[in-house]
Structure 1
Amino acid sequence: MTSPTSDALLGPAEVRELADVLGVRPTKQRGQNFVIDANTVRRIVRTAEVRPDDVVVEVGPGLGSLTLGLLEAADRVVAVEIDDVLAGALPATITARMPQRADRFALVHSDAMHVRELPGPPPTALVANLPYNVAVPVLLHMLETFPSIERTLVMVQAEVADRLAAPPGSKVYGVPSVKANWYADVRRAGAIGRTVFWPAPNVDSGLVSLVRRAEPVRTTASRREVFAVVDAAFAQRRKTLRAALSGWAGSAPAAEAALVAAGVSPQARGESLTVEEFARIAESAPSRDTAPTAPEARQ
């Protein structure tokens, strides 16, 4: 398999020309910032450790900058695009710039949050420049919906990257940190400058690597039950867990009892707990059948 070439990948002139032909102007509503630097694309593919046998799913391919780099390295790429114009144009771009690999590409024209199945073999990797405004919900949805995804590398707003990769005790450790860690070992994998995008965003970007846990969190509680505790604990993060979980448990004394049963101090705060500790609290819910649940994609 050949390595990416400048002829195949999109540069600044090609991106702008393609956008002009399509009448496309990136919109803030959909968090569109197109990568215009081929070296950045190569770096992302290399950092993602894309293998020749990988089936890669990409969310938000846009004009195809990253798609082409992924297609050069992987066995197959499935791109999920919500924008009508971009989705309509992408297959032609792939065919024109990488005809020898076009049969290895598939497009799903849909909102990623609504995707429940993908064409072809199950995906083994997720690599994407995620729209900043929906990055965390989309990431969590894909990890939950496609358990075959072993490795993930996403480019997100630097602040979001910090939150996803934050360890317990960090000032930015929160709901995204715990929920991402439910699925995977998470770490920061680098920074991306603003000038590699068109238009250049007003914020810095970061790469986040997520490697699926070899074994899931050991707990008798369901993911929904654990995530309900996480949401409640961080809804009022300045409060102790005894107070923050009072609504979840039905009362402060009930919350304290559940915490004690889980071996967690009622005076602790959510930012100090691991995902395993949240799971133990969920197991100790006053009533596993009636404890309320919260929206799973809350950031």
Structure 2
Amino acid sequence: MDDQQATLLGPADVRRLAAELDIKPTKKLGQNFVHDPNTVRRIVSVAEVGAEDVVLEVGPGLGSLTLAIMPVAGEVVAVEIDPVLAARLPRTAQEFAPGLADRLTVLPADALRVRAEDFAKPPTALVANLPYNVAVPVVLHLLAELPTLCKGLVMVQSEVAERMAAEPGSRTYGVPSAKAAWFADVRRAGPVPRKVFWPVPNVDSGLVSFHRVDPPSNAAREDVFRVVDAAFAQRRKVLRGALAGWAGSAARAEELLRAAGVDPTTRGEQLGIADFARIAEAASSGSTS
């Protein structure tokens, strides 16, 4: 832990800053501000970031989590789509963590559109309270775009946390779980009570951690993800039928499934990402059974 500390935002600070900026949290941007210092301390602790890390934070808002990350990380890059919030954050860092403010860089941008070249130093960890309506696309985009991102901890809607960390065969397993597994080992990391937010959301929240892993295949990621999308587009269908459009016909789908060692009468939710990769490989090699 760094000797220099940051004063964390409490409920009164959050309301004062929001009033100063004339901010009325919007559902469109998924704005629910954390006002509990213990919660942000817990997030940073579970995230296991250190002085060697360049931490990427998405949607820093008023800076509650940012101020908790700054004493621990080597650098923090905060990506904020709201220009008013992006402009205020450096000043908040100066006020609440004057000795650490030089560790913070604010990038006024949409996290779904950032590219690796936007960062002076490659981010190594993602720590964020993500806007719930874009949580999955943001995580998948950042993992694809930033190969240096080796670990992370994100706070998302509880149902989204379940879907991201679900295992094959479970009720909540689907496209987010399968695609996330291409990049990382994804796990639930505990619940977050509603009362730590302002305004109080009408959904429960949860933490999700990830650690990057090697892809399960040399197949092109885009090809594998097309198979995943097709398999889950019609969840009730067995794979022979669900992949018919993708393969060109049900007969061709069955041929490719058999070549990949997958039972054509199984459903998408039974397959892991390595299974989907083998199906894509069979298609790219022009396999016949």
> Which residue does the alignment assign to 1:280?
278
Q: RMSD value over aligned CA atoms?
A: 1.2
> Which residue does the alignment assign to 1:258?
256
Q: Distance in 2 between matches of 1:278 and 1:4?
A: 47
Q: Distance in 2 between matches of 1:3 and 1:271?
A: 48
> Which residue does the alignment assign to 2:183?
183
SS in 1 for 2:71: helix
TM-score by length of 1: 0.93
- What is the CA deviation profile of residues 146-173 of structure 1, one whole-angstrom value per residue up to 9, with x for unaligned ones? 0101111000000000000110000110
After superposing on structure 2, the runs of 4+ consecutive aligned residues of structure 1 that deviate more than 4 Å are none
Residue 55 of structure 1 pairs with residue 59 of structure 2 = no
TM-score by length of 2: 0.96
> Which residue does the alignment assign to 1:105?
104
Report matched runs for 1:73-112 at 5 Å: 73-112=72-111
Paired positions, count? 284
SS in 2 for 1:189: strand
Deviation at 1:3, TM superposition (A): 6.9
> Which residue does the alignment assign to 2:130?
130
Q: Distance in 2 between matches of 1:93 and 1:119?
A: 22
SS in 2 for 1:99: coil
- What is the CA deviation profile of residues 69-121 of structure 1, one whole-angstrom value per residue up to 9, with x for unaligned ones? 01111010000000011011111111111111111110110111110033332
Report matched runs for 1:3-42 at 5 Å: 4=5, 8-42=7-41
- What is the CA deviation profile of residues 121-162 of structure 1, one whole-angstrom value per residue up to 9, with x for unaligned ones? 211100000000000000100011101011110000000000
Q: Which amino acid aligns with 2:23?
A: V
Contact 1:155 1:205 in 2 (8 A): yes
Percentage of matched positions with identical amino acids: 62
Q: Which amino acid aligns with 2:274?
A: E
Contact 1:4 1:42 in 2 (8 A): no
Q: Which runs of 5+ in 1 are unaligned?
A: 289-299
> Which residue does the alignment assign to 2:45?
46
Q: Which amino acid aligns with 1:44?
A: I
Q: Distance in 2 between matches of 1:75 and 1:111?
A: 23
> Which residue does the alignment assign to 2:3?
2
Contact 2:125 2:150 in 1 (8 A): yes
Q: Which runs of 5+ in 2 are unaligned?
A: none
Report matched runs for 1:196-275 at 5 Å: 196-213=196-213, 215-219=214-218, 221-275=219-273
- What is the CA deviation profile of residues 239-264 of structure 1, one whole-angstrom value per residue up to 9, with x for unaligned ones? 00000000000000010001000000
